[in-house]
Each structure stands twice: as C-alpha cells, then as structure tokens.
Structure 1
C-alpha cells in the first residue's frame, strides 16, 4: 500500500466500450487501493480488540498476565496472517504512523486507517461487553487500562509504553515492510512481540501499545483515568521508530529505487 494510486486515463479514440472498461478498472483500482484496506483494518481491529478485551474480562486470577498476553499475541498474529496481504495488517494507529514514515503506506491512507482502527476498536469492545457477564465486565473495568492509579506512576508507565510499542513497531516495520529483512514468519514474530511486551510490562502500564485498543474499552466502560498515556506513548514510539528506520535504512521507496539500480 505504499504507492500512489494510478491516474485513470481514457483513450478518447477507443470508443465508448473502451472508455467504460477503463472507468470500470479505475473504480476497481480505487476500491482495492483505498476502500478495501480500510474495511480490513476495521474488521481486523474489531476482532483483535474483541479477543483482547475478553481475555482480560474473563482472566482467571491464577493465570496472571499469561492469559491476556497469549490471547492478544496469538490473535494479532493470526489476524495478520489472514488479512495482512490486503491492508498490511496494522490494526494499530501507532504502527500505521511508523509504516507511513518509512514509506510503506500511502500518506493519504493514514487518517482513514486511524479512523477505521478506532471504529474497529469500538465495535470489538462493544461486542466484548455484549457477551460478558455484567459483574465480570465491571470488575475488569471493561478491559480498559486501569493499571495507573496515581500521578507518581505516570512517568514510568509512559516510558514503558514508549519502549514496548517501539519493539512492536520495529517488529512490523522490519519483519513485514522492509524488503531486506521481511520474511514469511512476520505475523508470528509480531504476535510474539505482543506476548513478550505484555508479560514484561503489563504490571507497569498495562502494555497497551495501541490507541485503538485503549479507546474502545474506555468508551464502553466510561473509564478515562490517565487515558492520554495510551495515546501519547504509542504514537510517540511510532514516530521514533519511523524516524530511526529512515535514518538508518532510508524509506522503503528510496531503498527499492536504489535496489533497482
């Protein structure tokens, strides 16, 4: 999804049939380049956040962070493996920002991707609420991030979100976007990075790493305490990863041009 959409040119001397055919191909191309990926990002985000929220709501005290970590990581890897070839499999505004900065996503699609991911987050969180027992839902704060309870935890939680999201964004950019380093195991490596992040940082910040994952449950539960951490931290991490990769490797378009020469 990194290139610009081709212009639709019509051969005026080719007759009405050829013009209609060109118009049809143009509509199909625009659909495949702009609408279809956004629909996939909405669907994938909804599925991922539905499973992630349920894993928190239904989590047994005996399993600690293991159940949410495995559910989030395995779900993300599976959904990327299924849908990633259509949209890139971001399902995360911070990841989309990093991928855009390195040239792996058309900048025109960044805002539509963000909207699709946030709407998907709302749908996923709403579905999780609909199927959960009311008592469990509210005991888990609707799977909203409630780890940070006081001002003294803010700096540590924000730092953790930045570092944890950087690992996730690096896994996506280097494992699935950069031509030199990407491979067929990228979906599982990305999912594994989420598992590692939650196991390592879940007790510090909740290990959100995804504004869409924070937004949907916050709306459903009406829980907004320190919510800004889960926007600023991941988006700042996406920005840092994008700039770092451009500095060290160059953006994807430039690298492909140099490779072709």
Structure 2
C-alpha cells in the first residue's frame, strides 16, 4: 500500500512538473508582451513621482536633504524589486534609451515605454497635489525644480545632472543588462546611488536625474524656468553611460570595441560557445 502511494505521488509530481514545463514554454500573449510592461512603467513611474513629490512638499526643514534623498532612493529600490520581472523597472526615459543602446530591449518597446513614463510622471505629480495641503504645495511649488535662478548656476547644474545621471545609469546597465556584472542586488544599488546623488547634489541642481520626475510638477505649477536642463542633462548623462558600457566596460557580448578575434579552430569554437553562454 505504501509503495502504491509513493508511486502515485511520483506520478502526480511528474504530471505537475510536466504541466509547469509546458506552461513555461508558452509564448507570451499581446497583453504580457506589450500592454502589461507599459502599465508597469506607468504605474511605477506614477508612484515614484508621487512619493518623491510628497517628500519634497512635506519636507521637514530640520531634515534638510535627508528626507527627499531617502524617500526617492527607497522608493526606487522597492519599485524596481517589485516590477523588474514585468517591465525591467526603468521608470526613467534616459534608462530606457541607454538600455536599448546596450541591447537590453527591443526598439519597438522604446516609444511605448517613454510615453508610459511621461504619463506616469504627470499622474504622480497630480496625486501629490491631491494629497498635500494647498499651503504646503504652494510653498514648495509642487516639488518642481526651482533651485536654478540665474545664469551663474546653469553650467554647474547642467553638468551635475549629466554626471549624476551617468553614474546611476551606469549602475543600472552594469547591474542589470551586462551579463558579466549582473547582480540581484540591482534594486539596492540603484536606490543607494539615488540617495547619495541627492545628498551630494541637491543644492546644486535639485538632483532630478529623470525628465518624467521634472515634467509632471512643471505642468501642474506652470514652472518652466530652466526646465530644459532637466531633460538635456539626464538624457546626455544616460547616453554617456551607454557609450561607456557599450564601448569599454561591457562584456564581450555587450562591448563593440577591443574584442578578441575568433579562431576558426576547435579552441576558437569552444571560446565562442563559452562567450555566448556568458
């Protein structure tokens, strides 16, 4: 009787394994392939911008930059961890452009992702206005980036947005796209990079690093002074990061320069196979 029971359990477990194997090889449908990832980008960007704006609007003066820095960084870490398997958790136009340039996504998904992120940023900024008091919202100008007031600040802020976005984009590319250096610690790494960037450069440019984060509050408060800095700086920084990884820092699959020549002999074929598995 015991043996019969064990045999039935074995058969049952094999059937479950077979079913799960068959289910895993089914190609994704249109919803899973296109609509769901875009929804994840929209929702993720929306909540990131919402939480980020609220942290600025309701910032306690005694905490200085610490409160917005921790909130933005921890929000990124949590959202990236939650939605990485759905959309890749970009939530930032420069990330999407850089990931595409480094071979991490298909071209036909780039524009839908960018649209989803921009819409998500506007919705997130709208949510922050609904949540916060009129007095605090007006005092913080809706968490729009208002720190730039003169031409003297312009070059430092522009360079800061470019350099800091380059850093966080490089962390994303090396931690998630580049096979040789990929790690499950990406959410933690990206969150920490956002925190240190805000702490370091908050008084210089406000540390936007994300055009979707800048656009929503700008629309709601009609604040467009030097707004272009928060597009040109982050996008340029993302492109520089993509160039560094694509040209110099990436593994053999990602890098397009300094690749060793492939031999036609058996050793060359073996090294090629090993490279493809890596």
Where on the TM-score scale, by shorter chain, does this alignment land: which range? 0.7 to 0.9
1:169 alignment counterpart: 169
Deviation of the 1:176 alpha carbon: 1.6
SS in 2 for 1:219: helix
Rounded to whole Å, the distance in 2 between the matches of 1:70 and 1:260 is 38
Q: Deviations over 1:192-242 (max 9, x none)?
A: 000000000000000000000000111111111100000000001111111
Q: How many residues align?
A: 236
Higher relative contact order (CA 8 A, sep 6+): 1
Distance 1:213 1:172, change over 3 A: same
The question of whether the paired residues in 1 share the 8 Å contact of 2:73 and 2:195 is answered with yes
Q: Deviations over 1:68-110 (max 9, x none)?
A: 0000000010000011111111100011111111000111111
1:259 equivalent to 2:276? Answer yes
Distance 1:125 1:251, change over 3 A: farther
The question of whether the paired residues in 2 share the 8 Å contact of 1:210 and 1:230 is answered with yes
The question of whether the paired residues in 1 share the 8 Å contact of 2:245 and 2:255 is answered with no
The question of whether the paired residues in 1 share the 8 Å contact of 2:214 and 2:230 is answered with yes
Deviation of the 1:30 alpha carbon: 2.5
Rounded to whole Å, the distance in 1 between the matches of 2:177 and 2:77 is 15
Rounded to whole Å, the distance in 1 between the matches of 2:149 and 2:253 is 40
2:43 alignment counterpart: 43
Deviation of the 1:259 alpha carbon: 2.3
In structure 1, the gaps of 5 or more residues are 1-24
Rounded to whole Å, the distance in 2 between the matches of 1:134 and 1:251 is 52
Scaled by the length of structure 1, the TM-score of the pair is: 0.86
The question of whether the paired residues in 2 share the 8 Å contact of 1:94 and 1:238 is answered with yes
Q: Deviations over 1:99-145 (max 9, x none)?
A: 11100011111111110000000010000000110010011010000
* CA RMSD in angstroms, aligned pairs only: 1.9
Rounded to whole Å, the distance in 2 between the matches of 1:244 and 1:252 is 11
Q: Deviations over 1:12-51 (max 9, x none)?
A: xxxxxxxxxxxxx77x523222211111000000010000
Q: Structure 1 stretch 145-154 or stretch 62-71: which is displaced more?
A: 145-154
The question of whether the paired residues in 1 share the 8 Å contact of 2:162 and 2:236 is answered with yes
Deviation of the 1:251 alpha carbon: 5.7
1:67 alignment counterpart: 67
Rounded to whole Å, the distance in 2 between the matches of 1:212 and 1:60 is 24
Deviation of the 1:253 alpha carbon: 9.7
The question of whether the paired residues in 1 share the 8 Å contact of 2:253 and 2:276 is answered with no
Deviation of the 1:260 alpha carbon: 3.3
SS in 1 for 2:103: coil
SS in 2 for 1:62: helix
Rounded to whole Å, the distance in 1 between the matches of 2:253 and 2:37 is 21
Rounded to whole Å, the distance in 2 between the matches of 1:107 and 1:187 is 24
Larger Cα-atom Rg: 2
